[in-house]
Structure 1
Amino acid sequence: MCALNKQKKGFALVELIVVMGIMLMVSGLTIANFPAFRSQIAVSIALHELQLSLRQAQAYAIAVREFSPAFTAPICQPLVSPPARFPPYGVSITKNTSTYVLFADIACAVKTIPPYNKQIYNTGSVYGSEMVATKVMQGGAKVLSIDGCNGMSCIALDIVEVVYQRPSPSIIILGHSSVWASYTWVDITISSQNGAFTKVMRVRTSGQVSIQ
């Protein structure tokens, strides 16, 4: 009579040890890389929210969003005294900070801007606060650098303002280094809290916003 060999089902001790070792290795790598992953996510979210804020300012300007019904001037135009009821809107961004401001140009600085030698966003306007909202980057992300460019020439800036005004389809980009000046495009570099991860947003006067 032939004896039937019965195979035992399940894991052998060696197999179990190998599987546990692999799981521990994967867990260790995941934990070790988590800070870097978190930094990348924080920068990506900050760029996405900044892009949304720029689009929000553009939408407010195109849709002729009312800032205050108490203001008598309809829009910013020559021979009309501010404050404007339906002003241009923009975003003011400062280097080495984790905040930026969505604002309304109720003082109509855009109509007196040429030759583009002064700031548009006025924190001490005689007509009241121009701030619509202050945005805060999460996860320790911040504005590492700002570069304003014309042609092949670029210069480091400490502040940039991107302003949308109706009915013009283009935008105004003003930046401050030692003086205020206008630029064709601007590169805004966002970094993680430890500076290990960075990404660049490029904004052009054509209205194009891209992430490098």
Structure 2
Amino acid sequence: MCRRFFVASPDEFFNYHMLKFLRGGDKRSKKHNATAAHSSAGFTLVELMVVTGIFMILSSVVLTTNARFGNLVVLQNLAHDMALSVRQAQVYGIAVRRYEGAIFDVSYGIHFSVPSANAPFIYELFADVNRNGAYDDGDAIVTSTTVNPGYTLNDLCIRSTSGSDDCAVSTADIVFRRPEPDACIGKGGAFTFNAQFKCVSQNDRARIILESRGGELAGITIESSGQISVN
């Protein structure tokens, strides 16, 4: 039996192998697409748990930081309000604010007292009608300020001219009398004016510290020179 052999031309040989290559590439492409589609079908349970955990951690950090920042801002505002009240008493004292008609020689001051348990912190701007340099019966309250709930008095300290601090005081009075801007600082209700209405206090500094519900601290310092600072 005679077999016939066909000899392909160069063009036919090239076309044959090119077609074979393209068919093989199409199969590889379909296999790759199927694998990619399978791998991108969605999140696994482990991936979902990891992403959720990261989101919860970031959310808790952001919320905690935001709450602390808010408390600190309110606390600073309360300290500045307290400093402004002291400054207002100073202005009233040296500007000869008239009290009830034609009385012009009344001193003005701020009275601080340690609140009882669970009671709000309250301080008063008062007119020293009795002219003794302390807040007592007979003096007139000009304004009374109640500090926001959640914020209270942390410390009330009076420093003597000898340099020793007394932080166990229950009350403090900061009084201003014309024509000087100096502060007459008293504690425990002790009179700080003598019979000639001159300041005889032996204290040169008062420090009032507020505390927020988060434990942040801010307050004011009043020097006997009349300087008032927020710290």
The alignment's TM-score, normalised by the length of structure 2, stands at: 0.64
Q: 2:127 is matched with which residue?
A: 104
Amino acid at match of 1:130: A
2:175 is the counterpart of 1:155: no
- What is the DSSP-based 3-state SS (H/G/I as helix, E as strand, rest coil) of the residue aligned with 1:146? strand
Cα distance in 2 between the residues matched to 1:74 and 1:63: 9
Cα distance in 1 between the residues matched to 2:186 and 2:143: 20
Query: For residues 93-119 of structure 1, what are the alpha-carbon distances to aligned partners after superposition, in whole Å with 9 as ceiling and x for unaligned?
Result: 112342100100112223xxxxxxxxx
- How many equivalent residue pairs? 171
Superposed CA RMSD: 2.7
Amino acid at match of 1:199: A
Cα distance in 2 between the residues matched to 1:26 and 1:38: 18
Q: CA deviation at 1:198?
A: 1.2
Q: CA deviation at 1:44?
A: 0.8
Query: For residues 99-144 of structure 1, what are the alpha-carbon distances to aligned partners after superposition, in whole Å with 9 as ceiling and x for unaligned?
Result: 100100112223xxxxxxxxx112x31xxx5100101212521111
Amino acid at match of 1:90: G
Q: 2:113 is matched with which residue?
A: 94
Q: 2:95 is matched with which residue?
A: 63
Q: 1:202 is matched with which residue?
A: 221
Amino acid at match of 2:207: D
Q: CA deviation at 1:42?
A: 2.6
Q: CA deviation at 1:61?
A: 1.4
Q: 1:41 is matched with which residue?
A: 73
Provide structure 1 residue ranges, at least 5 long, that are not aligned to the other structure.
Answer: 1-11, 76-86, 111-119
Query: For residues 34-56 of structure 1, what are the alpha-carbon distances to aligned partners after superposition, in whole Å with 9 as ceiling and x for unaligned?
Result: 33223212321110100010111
2:176 is the counterpart of 1:164: yes
Residues 109-148 of structure 1: matches in 2 within 5 Å?
A: 109-110=132-133, 120-122=134-136, 124-125=137-138, 130-148=140-158
The structure with the greater share of residues assigned to helix is: 2
- Which residue among 185, 200, 204 is the counterpart of 2:205? 185
Are the structure 2 counterparts of residues 65 and 35 from structure 1 closer, same or farther at C-alpha, using a change threshold of 3 Å?
same
Provide structure 2 residue ranges, at least 5 long, that are not aligned to the other structure.
Answer: 1-39, 193-200
Which structure has the greater CA radius of gyration?
2
Identity between Structure 1 and Structure 2 (%): 24
- What is the DSSP-based 3-state SS (H/G/I as helix, E as strand, rest coil) of the residue aligned with 2:66? helix
Amino acid at match of 1:102: L
